[in-house]
Homo-oligomer: A and B are copies of this chain.
Amino acid sequence: MTEDLHALQRRLAAFAAARRWEPYHTPKNLAAALSVEAAELLEIFQWLTPEEARAVMEDADTARRVRDEVADVLAYLLQFCEVLGVDVLEALSAKIDRNESRFPLPGDGD
């Protein structure tokens, strides 16, 4: 069974601490690294038509690359949240609540 998000966040923190990478893991550096990894994910799609983009998981090599970049994005996001003490699940839950008010459905609030 896969670990949950907080277990993975703790594993990443222990991994960095054991390798003494913490001095590099400033909030600014981690925000830059997150942005770089998101761009590497985008790079896979940059020359594809919308149709080709939809089929990327059918090619084993591209599928592996997509999963790898997705993992890197989440890894840096969790490490960023770790050093600043942000609860990412709580932040997203609160954001969805706000968006439900911002973009109400027809019939909502009747």
Counted per complex, copies of this chain come to 4
Cβ contacts A1-29/B at 8 Å (1 or 0 each) = 01111001001100100110000101111
Q: How large is the interface on A (under 10, 10 to 19, 20 to 34, 35 or more residues)?
A: 35 or more
Report Cα–Cα, A89/B4, bound state, in Å.
7
What are 11 A-B contacts defined by CB distance under 8 Å? Answer: A18-B105, A31-B45, A35-B38, A35-B42, A36-B46, A56-B84, A57-B86, A70-B81, A71-B91, A72-B95, A74-B91
A80 to chain B, nearest CB (A): 7
From residue 39 to 66 of chain A, which have CB atoms closer than 8 A to chain B?
A: 39-50, 53-54, 56-57, 66
- Whether A70 pairs with B91 at a CB distance below 8 angstroms is yes
